[in-house]
Amino acid sequence: MKKIHYLSILVAAAFSMKNLHAQDSTAIFKPKTVLVEEMVGNRRQFLQFMVNKVFVEKKKIGLLSISSYAADYKDNLGNNEFQNTTLIYHHLYKGISINSGASFTSVEGLKNFVGLQYMYQSNTLSLIYMPSYYFINSNKISNFGLIEYRPAINENWSVYSRLQLHYNHNLENGNHYRSYAYSRLGLTYKYFSFGLAHNFDRYGANKNVKNNYGVFLKLTL
């Protein structure tokens, strides 16, 4: 039921984008390219760094990189986690792109993938969806989704909310491999966002759960 609920959120956001685009088309909008977030939770700390940069003049080719670190408060290196996904994407049509890149985790090491992605950004809404297939020394499929909704309160303040989802499935044995759901709710003042945070992580075929509740601070440039 949770998967259906998350999927319905993504679908609803996708259908609402046409109207949002019309609302925002009268203003000049420059997408933010660097996001840094720290979460201090009841069980561990979490840091996420995201870069989304178009580096060709015609805006056909871009770079997307997402890195995250998690560490508990017991100074046990075995419980620390690191994961990075870096890819190059080529825009095809209305936010739809093909991509190829690599993912590195502290458990699996480096794995290559190919996939698709849909990306949309406006003054109030950001949406990323990426289905991928891992094909070298791996046989997994993954889905990544991110929704940010930032309705304005006034010139400097806005409400901030985010839902970030990931599901990785092992095709060789048909089991769940890794998944998470990260949610944020708070306020944004100019470049800074802050508020309440919840990280829900699951691991392996048994879907072992780690819950982390806390507060977050995010800088967007």
CATH code for position 96? 2.40.160
pLDDT digits (tens, 9 = 90+) for 164-200: 999 999 999 999 999 999 999 999 999 999 999 999 9
Q: Which pLDDT does position 31 carry in this prediction?
A: 58
- Cβ-based burial of 92 (10 A; exposed 0-12, middle 13-18, buried ≥19): exposed
Q: Which bin fits 99, alpha (ψ -120 to 50), beta or left (φ > 0)?
A: beta
Q: Which two three-digit tokens encode residue 155?
A: 């010139």
- Label residue 23 by pLDDT band (50, 70, 90): very low
Looking at every residue in the chain, the average pLDDT score rounds to 86
pLDDT digits (tens, 9 = 90+) for 78-119: 889 999 999 999 999 888 999 999 999 988 889 999 999 999
Do residues 166 and 142 touch, judged by C-beta distance below 8 A?
Answer: yes
- Label residue 138 by pLDDT band (50, 70, 90): confident
Q: What does the buried/exposed string (b/e) look like for 149-188 if buried means 16 or more CB atoms within 10 Å of the residue's CB? A: bbeeeeeeebbbbbbbbbbbbbeeeeebbbbbbbebebeb
Q: Is the pLDDT of residue 2 over 90?
A: no
Q: Domain of 163?
A: 2-220
- Label residue 68 by pLDDT band (50, 70, 90): very high
Total structural domains in the chain?
A: 1
Task: Report the relative pairing of strands 140-149 and 157-170 from DSSP bridges.
Answer: antiparallel
Q: Is the pLDDT of residue 16 over 70?
A: no
Average pLDDT for 25-32? 45
